[in-house]
């Protein structure tokens, strides 16, 4: 029985600018074939096998013919295949060719449209592709020569009304400028060039047809970039977004709740993820219910597992009057409050403390005094790609341990570390991280803390 292929538009680059259906298809997929311009963070919620079939200019890891055959092969094995493409699959993405090939071979195929960079990329720098005062139409043009090697119809293009947007055109920028001017466009026609539109590394310049090549070279812009020609470029200075963490690339732990993700992206940051191994419950004995104890919980997972074990054992919460439940963070506190228990935040002196916590890396339970382990994470040393990352957020000491095991000394010196709480900051410093900024573990004030505490200074 054949599977199916979903041709999915990933949008212009920002990981949130993919459709809801596109994200659902990624979660449902057995295998994802993705293009070069895809931010890997967009696939963080998927456990599918991931194959990079991206093409570099003048160099292809997979030819288009090989990609077509691979899609057919995987679907014929009964797999659900997500073919993830930058922008929209049918806007210069060869999605039409792939769909035809799949249909020809009897493979079920669907198209999940995406937001094309030709529109969203302009908006990311404050340029509306249409405007009542400047342009009532637009034209999206691939700057590559025709299949037979002949030039584009420059006379028709130059005399078209409205906004012109050239995709895949940086190698042809001088040719575009020369041909537009040579066919009647004014040398003073405004031009914007936007590299890596909607992503953290986005850069742009505003120029005109006569000077755009020089200005692009001076700014060091390259591929991939959009070239926008027309009077709509005039409003860029007025409408350019200004967000406090714009241009920052931050690594955070992946979470389905996305509270931290939402707060940071709303402030303009671009995020990449590391995924922690799933916590596995281990067997443990409940303490003596008749003994007066101060039970210290340092994370919500252990708190949840402890309460589940307590209730499964048939213990009535009223029987725990001798126990003081102590928490040191809002998430852990919420676990108890949701169960109708009001915890305290400071231990009572003179009472024995049992610490219910995650598995302590590098130790066995017998080596940790007064500790009952509720869960553990196997294979917990996380390998991360820190390429172009500005900073990492460490929410717990366990995450500090897991990440540090796979990071070299140079990265520990260069990256800004935002540690949520003093214990986390102290552990990060002890493991060689040099630029540690301690923050109060409060999601609502996270962005303002990151700026005011010296980690980031917004101009």
Q: Do 76 and 175 belong together in one domain?
A: no
CB-based contact 441:395 (threshold 8 Å):
yes
**Given 62, 88, 114, which residue is the final one in a domain?**
114
* pLDDT of the residue at 456: 65
**Given 353, 376, 399, which residue is the final one in a domain?**
376
Q: Across the strands, what pairs with 228?
A: 165, 192
**Given 376, 399, 417, which residue is the final one in a domain?**
376
| Rounded CA Rg of the chain | 27
List the strands of the sheet with 225-229, edge to edge.
138-142, 163-167, 225-229, 190-195, 203-208
Main-chain dihedrals φ then ψ at residue 48, nearest 5 degrees? -70, 160
Name the pLDDT band for 389 (thresholds 50, 70, 90). confident
* pLDDT of the residue at 181: 96
State CA 69 to chain mean position distance. 30
Rounded mean pLDDT of 14-36? 94
DSSP string, 109-122: EEEE----HHHHHH
pLDDT digits (tens, 9 = 90+) for 313-367: 888 888 888 888 888 677 788 888 888 888 876 666 555 556 555 444 444 444 4
Give a yes or no: residue 259 inside a domain. yes
Give a yes or no: residue 30 inside a domain. yes
Q: Do 26 and 37 belong together in one domain?
A: yes
Domains identified in the chain, total number: 4
Q: Which candidate in 30, 35, 231, 426 is catalytic?
A: 35
CB-based contact 357:371 (threshold 8 Å):
yes
Q: Which candidate in 30, 50, 55, 258 is catalytic?
A: 55
pLDDT digits (tens, 9 = 90+) for 401-426: 888 887 888 888 889 999 998 989 99
Q: Do 265 and 287 belong together in one domain?
A: no
Q: Do 268 and 387 belong together in one domain?
A: yes
Give a yes or no: residue 253 inside a domain. yes
The helix/strand/coil state of 180 is helix
* pLDDT of the residue at 366: 46
Q: Do 254 and 229 belong together in one domain?
A: no
Q: Do 9 and 93 belong together in one domain?
A: yes
Q: Do 268 and 391 belong together in one domain?
A: yes
Q: Is 55 a catalytic residue?
A: yes
Query: Which range is most confident: 51-55, 110-114, 249-253, 446-450?
Result: 110-114
Give a yes or no: residue 458 inside a domain. no
Give a yes or no: residue 62 inside a domain. yes
How far is the CA of 396 from the CAs of 249, 276, 402, 404, in angstroms?
20, 12, 10, 12
pLDDT of 67 strictly over 70: yes
pLDDT of 75 strictly over 90: yes
Give a yes or no: residue 244 inside a domain. no
Helix, strand, coil distribution of the chain in percent, nearest 5: 30, 25, 45
Distance CA 83, CA 89 (A): 9
Q: Do 230 and 254 belong together in one domain?
A: no
Query: In the predicted model, what is the mean pLDDT of the chain?
Result: 85
Give a yes or no: residue 399 inside a domain. yes
Q: Do 193 and 326 belong together in one domain?
A: no
* pLDDT of the residue at 459: 44
For the ranges 52-56, 66-70, 314-318, which has the lowest average pLDDT? 52-56
Q: Do 291 and 272 belong together in one domain?
A: no
User: For residues 393 and 347, which has the higher predicted lDDT (pLDDT)?
Assistant: 393
Q: Do 254 and 309 belong together in one domain?
A: no
Q: Do 433 and 312 belong together in one domain?
A: no
User: What predicted TM-score, i.e. pTM, was given to this entire model?
Assistant: 0.72
Which CATH number do you get for residue 271?
A: 3.40.50.10090
Give a yes or no: residue 457 inside a domain. no
- Domain residues for the domain of 225 are 119-239
For the ranges 10-24, 130-144, 261-275, 318-332, which has the lowest average pLDDT? 318-332
* pLDDT of the residue at 86: 93
Distance CA 164, CA 348 (A): 70
Which CATH number do you get for residue 126?
A: 3.30.950.10
């Amino acid at each position: 029985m054949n599977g199916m292929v979903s041709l999915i538009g990933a949008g212009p680059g920002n990981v949130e600018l993919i459709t809801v259906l596109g994200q659902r298809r990624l979660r449902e997929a057995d295998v994802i074939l993705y293009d070069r311009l895809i931010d890997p963070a967009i696939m963080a919620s998927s456990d599918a096998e991931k194959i990079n079939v991206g093409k570099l200019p003048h160099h292809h890891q997979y030819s288009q013919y090989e990609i077509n055959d691979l899609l057919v092969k995987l679907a014929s094995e009964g797999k659900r295949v997500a073919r993830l493409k930058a922008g929209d699959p049918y806007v210069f993405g060869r999605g039409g060719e792939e769909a035809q090939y799949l249909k020809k071979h009897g493979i079920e195929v669907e198209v999940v449209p995406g937001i094309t960079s030709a529109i969203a990329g302009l908006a990311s720098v404050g340029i509306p592709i249409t405007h009542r005062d400047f342009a009532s139409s637009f034209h999206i043009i691939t700057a590559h020569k025709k299949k037979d090697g002949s030039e584009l119809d420059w006379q028709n293009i130059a005399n078209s009304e409205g906004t012109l947007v050239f995709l895949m055109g940086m190698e042809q920028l001088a040719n575009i400028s020369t041909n537009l001017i040579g066919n009647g466009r004014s040398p003073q026609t405004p031009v914007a060039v936007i590299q890596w539109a909607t992503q953290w590394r986005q850069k742009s310049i505003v120029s005109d047809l006569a000077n755009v090549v020089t200005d692009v070279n001076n700014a060091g812009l390259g591929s991939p970039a959009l070239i926008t020609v027309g009077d709509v470029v005039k409003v860029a200075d007025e409408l350019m977004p200004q967000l406090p963490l714009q241009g920052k690339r931050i690594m955070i732990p992946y979470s389905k709740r996305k509270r931290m993700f939402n707060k940071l992206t709303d402030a303009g940051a671009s995020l990449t993820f590391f995924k922690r191994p799933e916590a596995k419950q281990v067997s443990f004995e409940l303490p003596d219910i008749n003994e007066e104890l101060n039970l210290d919980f340092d994370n919500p997972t252990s708190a949840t597992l402890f309460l589940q074990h307590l209730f499964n054992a048939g213990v009535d919460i009223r029987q725990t009057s001798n126990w003081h439940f102590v928490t040191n963070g809002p998430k852990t506190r919420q676990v108890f409050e949701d169960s109708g228990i009001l915890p305290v935040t400071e231990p009572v002196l003179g009472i024995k403390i049992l610490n219910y916590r995650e598995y302590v890396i590098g130790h066995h339970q017998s080596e940790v005094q007064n500790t009952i382990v509720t869960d553990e994470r196997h294979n917990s040393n996380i390998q991360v790609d820190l390429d172009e990352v500005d900073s990492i957020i460490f929410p717990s000491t366990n995450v500090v341990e897991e990440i540090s095991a796979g990071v070299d000394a140079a990265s520990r010196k260069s990256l800004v570390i935002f540690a949520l709480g003093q214990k986390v900051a102290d552990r990060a410093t002890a493991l060689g991280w040099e630029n540690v900024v301690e923050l109060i573990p409060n999601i609502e004030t996270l962005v303002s803390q990151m700026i005011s505490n010296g980690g980031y200074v917004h101009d």
